[in-house]
Copies of this chain bind each other. A is one copy, B any other.
């Protein structure tokens, strides 16, 4: 181990290894056409000096920056945090760094903020998650700047950019079939935020499954939520104080399902004895409320990882200035998680619902 009075540069490594700077650069960047002997010498020299490339210089001089950015909207979310962890997994493996930025979807300057970000930082790619994944202005700013981006769980998939998603509709179908198989007929549904694709798709899956079983979706049992716990509380009250109360409630996410459980509890309705409650996402809250929620596990972390990997892979593929055709996308598998918030409807509750 050799210690310099300053951070070692590529020049130091080159001198020590007795090769040119360019050869060192080739080795560091794993470029081909370097003899094994030289490669070893360079690697050894770099190791002895504890050399680490300077990312600012790299991105200034070259076409790659080894930097991704993650734009998220929701300042509160487990969701955003999960996505971030997934991206970081990918970055760690690829030697990338991650810059994060929080952008309020409803702020008028969302697009401007995005434009500024990509103008100041050379980025190899940007990952977007809902709700900004569907923000026109943000997408346009990215497109104009020529920065590749991948959308997670996008609304209109067809903006020509790659995306990563799970099959929300199919998962909702499966969950609904599960409820019907338990014996539920009068199933309440709490929709998600109208602007989120996931919300629409989950309802669509529910609708399809009900239809497939010859059951009607009763409009009076469908409430419009926004994915927030608070909206779940409101919807739950409306649903539970009907005289013909449903025997099961399908909430479009776990936050709202947790809210339903809370309202039920407060109303003296036992879950799952008097009411089955199911959620969606398998968020942390699902295992922390009483009873733990039956839900669908959304592979957030894996989706985010896949998104970042697409970006990193593309950046590695030099001299490409557009995505391959067809545009890459990934569909990740979900999984039904049956916990204690679901059970067959009791006699009592069926009678009440039928009344």
List chain A positions with a Cβ less than 8 A from chain B.
7, 50, 52-57, 59-60, 65, 75-78, 80-81, 84-85, 88, 92, 97-102, 116-117, 119-122, 229, 255, 258-259, 261-262, 265-266, 284-285, 287-290
Contact = CB atoms under 8 A, between A and B. Distances in A.
A57 B121 CA distance: 10
A78 to B, nearest CB: 7
A97 B76 contact: no
A176 to B, nearest CB: 25
A119 to B, nearest CB: 4
B52 A116 contact: yes
A53 B56 CA distance: 13
B60 A88 contact: no
A283 to B, nearest CB: 11
Given A7-B119, A76-B284, A289-B288, A85 B97 contact: no
Nearest to A84: B100
Given A85-B102, A102-B85, A102-B88, A120 B53 contact: yes
A258 B229 CA distance: 16
A102 B117 CA distance: 22
B80 A75 contact: no
A60 B52 contact: no
